[in-house]
Structure 1
Amino acid sequence: MNRKQRRLMLIAAAGAVLFVAAGLVLFAMRDTIVFFYGPTEIAEKGLQPGTRMRLGGLVEAGSVERGPGQRVSFAVTDGKNTVRVGYEGLLPDLFREGQGVVTEGVFEGAGRFRADSVLAKHDETYMPREVADALKKQGHWQPGVQKPGQ
């Protein structure tokens, strides 16, 4: 083997090792990857019950219902479709109707979602990127425009 062939073999071996390492990392992460969806995307894609995901949109006005203990249920909407969310725990201080929210949990089917975490926006100018993109796509959110009463 001459010098050029050894260098080529070394590069090929390093490439193969990197390829195998990338494959192992992706295989290990397959259960931890969580996709973001809006209510309309859930309706269009027909997700299977038990799918772990993030759901984002606006908390629908008049939809918050508090139950015993720390149970709360509310609807997340993008103006076109709505998904009912059930959550048990403390809600963020800035959680309220008409505000942007991102929930993470399990889709239960039939327009129901069981959340294990809820994130609310922290001021009037912030909106999670995924929520803003979904609402812009539906034409229901414009940056810098506040609704009356906010």
Structure 2
Amino acid sequence: MSPRARRALALAGGLGLLALAVALVLNALQSNLVFFFSPSQVAAREAPQSGSYRLGGLVERGSLRREADGVTLRFVVTDTAHAVPVRYQGLLPDLFREGKGVVVAGRLEPDGVFRATEVLAKHDENYMPPQAADAVRRASAPGPRPGEAR
């Protein structure tokens, strides 16, 4: 085999390995990607019906209920226009409060309850995830609600 052919073969092999590495990295990123949705988007069926995502908004006042087992909690996440019931089994962050901002990760079950695997609370009195704050602001704005006729 001539030196030119060996060089071309090595270059083709190197490009093939690079393409394989890029494909593996993109696949790993895609499988770990988690999207954020507001309760209004869930109500409008913009959120995936299967698969995990994050739901953000405010914890509705008076909605927090602890079940008899002591570790299962039920509460409602709202953006003031729509609300989604949430079920979570585990310990809540110290900063979790009714009426405050929250982001929960999990999936929406066929019964319409969001089964949370993780609860993220605000960091201080002024913090709310930007997407959640935007969803609450849009839901509170005057005018037709999502899905209503103009």
What TM-score does the superposition give when structure 1 sets the normalisation length? 0.74
- Preserved contact between residue 73 and residue 86 of structure 1 (Cα < 8 Å): yes
Pairwise mapping of residues 51-90 of structure 1 onto structure 2 (< 5 A)?
51-68=51-68, 69-90=70-91
The runs of 5 or more residues in structure 1 that have no matched partner are 1-9, 141-150
Offset, 1:42: 1.2
Offset, 1:109: 3.3
Offset, 1:43: 1.8
Pairwise mapping of residues 1-150 of structure 1 onto structure 2 (< 5 A)?
20-44=20-44, 45=46, 47-48=48-49, 50-68=50-68, 69-139=70-140
Instruction: State the distance in 2 between where 1:36 and 1:109 align.
Output: 19
- Preserved contact between residue 102 and residue 120 of structure 1 (Cα < 8 Å): yes
Instruction: State the distance in 2 between where 1:20 and 1:138 align.
Output: 45
Moved more, 108-117 or 93-102: 108-117
- Give the counterpart letter for 1:104 in structure 2: A
Offset, 1:110: 4.4
The runs of 5 or more residues in structure 2 that have no matched partner are 1-10, 142-150
- Give the counterpart letter for 1:126 in structure 2: Y
What TM-score does the superposition give when structure 2 sets the normalisation length? 0.74
Moved more, 38-47 or 111-120: 38-47
Q: In the comparison of the two structures, how many residue pairs are matched?
A: 134
- Preserved contact between residue 82 and residue 111 of structure 1 (Cα < 8 Å): no
- Preserved contact between residue 81 and residue 140 of structure 2 (Cα < 8 Å): no
Check 1:43–1:80 CA distance in 2 against 1; reply closer, same or farther (3 A cut): same
